Structure 1
Amino acid sequence: MTAVDEGFAARLRAATRDEHERAERSAFVADLLGGRLGLGAYAALLAQSHVFYGVLEEAGEHWRGDAVVGRFVIDGLLRRGALERDLAYLLGPGWRAGVRPLPATLSYVDRLREVCFTDRGAFVAHHYTRYLGDLSGGQVIRRRLKDLFGLDGDGVRFYDFDAVGKPKPFRDHYRDLLDTTAWDEDERASLISEANVAFRLNRAVFDDLGGVHHA
């Protein structure tokens, strides 16, 4: 059975595996989860995430009523509010004044604004990369942050996806959305290409964070 026979979600996952794994192997992530960085590095990660999630969720509102991709806009996935609560808890009520987007974050935002408001497939590529990635890996990260910093609830609400139910059934639902959306072959190829771009942009943010926060 080929990846195409298995469905588009399986094909997308296979075609982005290398870039996904490169992002996961980031030195910044390894140092953070290895306990070699402090709470400030984690707060910096959330601050950069708030910048690009804000733009992605603007794009989601743009597509919410769309007959093709509107069903990917799922309220339980939205992260901006959770990030704001976490940042207020970690950095205090004036946290916004201290957020400075890193160069890689600005490049990420530029790409989101360039493609996610006009191209349905590009929007889904970035949506998939961010939300399914943070949902899938977030539970492990959440437990590790509790062990490292004693965070439980406040400070790690970004990784709380309880609003969509248990992770595995929701991931199956999301993959079913990918499989049942009426993409043509050019759209599938373009979506895969953009998802790989998204993983590279994400890795660049980790690299920039690692340049500021390192063991």
Structure 2
Amino acid sequence: MAGLAERLRAETRAEHERTEQSPFVMSLLDGQLDRGCYARLLGQSWLFYQVLEEAAEAWRSDPVTGAFVFDGLHRGAALEADLRWLHGEAWRDAVVPLPATRRYVDRLRAVCFDSPTAFVAHHYTRYLGDLSGGQIIRRRLTSIYGLTTDGVRFYVFDEVPKPKRFKDAYRELLDQAPWTAEDHDDVVAEANEAFRLNRAVFEDLADASGLAA
């Protein structure tokens, strides 16, 4: 029987690929959008990372779920630094939640503070993606938009010097968590929901950026 980590990888692949192939993402990485569109993406991201990292604090002392809480993953401060560099000190005024972002934030608040499996599903979806494909995105963005460290701090994990080793250890935590088969089903289902919510944000960003449907 496959462990939870393998189930997550296999059973979220379709939603993951659909999200990665969203027109907004493809256009951004092809250099078809301006820096303002990228800044808008970071602003929306800041809104939902704030909630996810608030939930992480709530779970920190839990003997099982707390093991997934690692401060080196947190993106809030990095996003704020990027947004301040892109927008200036009044960056908060530029961050206006899109409808899909509001739905994403509402879902996080609804499930991540009460359900350990939901929290881990969203945690896994965001942070392991940041450590994987996020690094490819970082290299593309620095090349296309003339960025260095400033503007892409979101993708820099100074406290995770060996991402593969970290991801392997994270997957071991998933497999070792004392959860039932039903709990595993819940994690997989919520992870797929997380990808759908994220894709909806990309769709709203595409509309806001003037991309043709």
Q: Which runs of 5+ in 2 are unaligned?
A: none
Question: What SS does structure 2 have at the residue aligned with 1:49?
Answer: helix
Equivalent residue in structure 2 for 1:154, among 150, 155, 167 = 150
Equivalent residue in structure 1 for 2:90, among 94, 97, 108 = 94
Residue by residue over 1:108-134, the C-alpha shift from the partner in whole angstroms, topping out at 9 and shown as x without a partner, is 000000000000000000000001111
Distance 2:186 2:135 in 1: 30
Distance 2:204 2:113 in 1: 26
Q: Are 1:27 and 1:210, in contact at CA under 8 Å, matched by a contact in 2? A: yes
Letter in 2 for 1:112: L
TM-score by length of 1: 0.96
Shift of 1:162: 2.5
Q: Which runs of 5+ in 1 are unaligned?
A: none
Tell me, yes or no, if structure 1 residue 173 matches structure 2 residue 169. Answer: yes
- Look up the match of 1:27: 23
Shift of 1:214: 3.6
Distance 1:162 1:183 in 2: 31
Shift of 1:12: 1.0
Identical-residue share of aligned pairs (%): 61
- Look up the match of 1:13: 9
Letter in 2 for 1:11: R
Equivalent residue in structure 2 for 1:63, among 50, 59, 63 = 59
Tell me, yes or no, if structure 1 residue 200 matches structure 2 residue 208. Answer: no
Question: What SS does structure 2 have at the residue aligned with 1:163?
Answer: coil
Shift of 1:68: 1.2
Tell me, yes or no, if structure 1 residue 164 matches structure 2 residue 160. Answer: yes
Distance 1:144 1:111 in 2: 31
Which 4+ runs in 1 deviate beyond 2 A? none
Equivalent residue in structure 1 for 2:105, among 88, 109, 122 = 109
Letter in 2 for 1:151: L
Distance 1:59 1:24 in 2: 25
Question: What SS does structure 2 have at the residue aligned with 1:165?
Answer: coil
Residue by residue over 1:148-173, the C-alpha shift from the partner in whole angstroms, topping out at 9 and shown as x without a partner, is 11211110000001312211111111
Letter in 2 for 1:101: P
TM-score by length of 2: 0.97
Q: Are 1:55 and 1:112, in contact at CA under 8 Å, matched by a contact in 2? A: yes
Distance 2:210 2:34 in 1: 10
Residue by residue over 1:18-40, the C-alpha shift from the partner in whole angstroms, topping out at 9 and shown as x without a partner, is 00001001000000000000000
Tell me, yes or no, if structure 1 residue 37 matches structure 2 residue 27. Answer: no
Equivalent residue in structure 2 for 1:213, among 203, 209, 213 = 209
Distance 1:152 1:171 in 2: 25
